[in-house]
Chain A
Amino acid sequence: MELVAKAAVICVVVALTALLLERDTPELGLLLTLAAVAAVLTYALSFYQQVRDMLTALMDQAGLETALFAPILKIVAISLIARLGADVCKDSGHSALSSLMDTAGTVCALLAARPLLERTLALLLGWGGSP
């Protein structure tokens, strides 16, 4: 709750200041937005360790390999970076760069999911092979 309140206050203050700056120096307004993104994301990620510990405990209880879970975490990180990057590009008025960022994120997510897909395929082939 505290995190959301702090993030909301910072985002509103930064948005207002960026609006003020964009009249004369739009590039500095964009950099201010980027600084706010970096600060709030760093703060939010400092709480992420607790979530990861809980997920790891759940995986252990379910008897699943934690290696199976790693690609999902990677895809979450990739989507986070790709979306923020794309939105920053869109804010600066460069939609083509934004679309490119989305595409790069999709390709990276597919690459990160490759081990999971290979394991699933091997499992399915194993089932198909045995009568």
Chain B
Amino acid sequence: MDIDLIFKIAAIGIIVAVLNQLLVRSGREEQALMTTLAGLVVVLMILVREISSLFQLIKTLFQF
């Protein structure tokens, strides 16, 4: 099972959340939003590949 992927996404999420809090508290809301967006795009790029391979597996196994 690909647990590394889950840990990777959780780590990115925690780092982004901490950065978001720091930037918001220091009054840089725009940069906080940009950080969140960057984290979102990075995680999406990782996840899209994984979900694509999952769908491929489902198509093969269930004879589509």
- Which residues of A line the B interface, CB within 8 A? 6, 10, 13-14, 17, 20-21, 23-25, 27-29, 31-32, 34-36, 38-43, 45, 48-49, 52, 70, 73-74, 76-77, 80-81
Q: Name A81's contact: one of B9, B46, B58 (CB within 8 Å).
A: B58
- Which residues of B line the A interface, CB within 8 A? 1-3, 5-6, 9-10, 12-14, 16-17, 20-21, 36, 39-40, 43-44, 46-47, 50-51, 53-55, 57-58, 61-64
Q: Name B6's contact: one of A24, A35, A74, A81 (CB within 8 Å).
A: A35
Distance in Å: Cβ of A12 to nearest Cβ of chain B: 12
User: Chain A residues with Cβ under 8 A from B21's Cβ?
Assistant: 24
Describe A's contact surface by its main secondary structure: helix
Q: Name B63's contact: one of A31, A40, A74 (CB within 8 Å).
A: A74
In the complex, the answer to whether B1 meets A6 with C-beta atoms within 8 Å is yes
User: Chain B residues with Cβ under 8 A from A81's Cβ?
Assistant: 55, 58
